[in-house]
Amino acid sequence: MPRRSALEAAGTRDAIIRRAADIGSVEGLEGITIGRLATDLEMSKAGVIGHFGTKEELQLATLELAAELFVEQVWKPVEDLRPGLERLLGICEAWTRYADEPILSGGCFIAAVSFEFDGRAGRVHDALKQVVGRWRKTLVREISVAIADGDLPADLDPEQAAFSMEALAAGMNPARQLYGDTSAAEWSRRAMHAVLGVSRSL
């Protein structure tokens, strides 16, 4: 019985975080309230907060899930590809598809929360910086490998290219949801290829 209770508790915690991520993708982390989660999941407020202790811990757990979802959707499909250009092109495809076919109601949670917390101090800001920083390092590494292999222009700055790719990815969500640009993913993919200096046909 204790084992079953532990499993049920873990399942409940996962359900809370998943619902929080869905809300946060639309309304930001500050839009996630204990009362709303309790109502949506037909739980008591005490039952919701009891899994985390504080709202900040809930926010951090939600950010962790969002990072896991990003890795699952964008990195996992390409991790077995050849490092460098082949993997970069795979990243462009997976990243823009992730934005075009969102698994959360509001699209990319990381992009939404980055705008919300970029100017705030605190643990959530620091955790977000770490998550985004890891991804930028990944992009810089792959770009650097492609340059070393001779597959990308020798004068391409890996840091600037990674920055530009991130900026393009961040613009997909508002393009789709604010302007209704159904071609946003394709445009972003073409623009990422242009940033890298590769032919669209690759």
Give percent above pLDDT 70 in the chain: 94
Calculate helix-pair angle for 109-117, 158-177, nearest 10 degrees: 100
The pTM score is 0.87
1 has a pLDDT exceeding 50: no
Q: Mind giving me the DSSP string for 51-117?
A: TTSSHHHHHHHHHHHHHHHHIIIIITTTTTSPTTHHHHHHHHHHHHHHHHS-SSTTS-HHHHHHHHH
Domains, the chain, in order of start with CATH, read 60-196 (1.10.357.10)
Could you give phi then psi for residue 41, rounded to 5 degrees?
A: -100, 5
Res. 16: pLDDT tops 90: yes
Task: Find, among 72, 97, 77, 96, the residue nearest to 87 by Cα.
Answer: 77
Q: Does pLDDT of 3 surpass 60?
A: no
pLDDT bucket at 9, cuts 50 / 70 / 90: low
pLDDT tens, position by position, 67-112: 999 999 999 999 999 999 999 999 999 999 998 888 998 888 998 8
pLDDT score of 180 more than 90: no
pLDDT at 4: 47
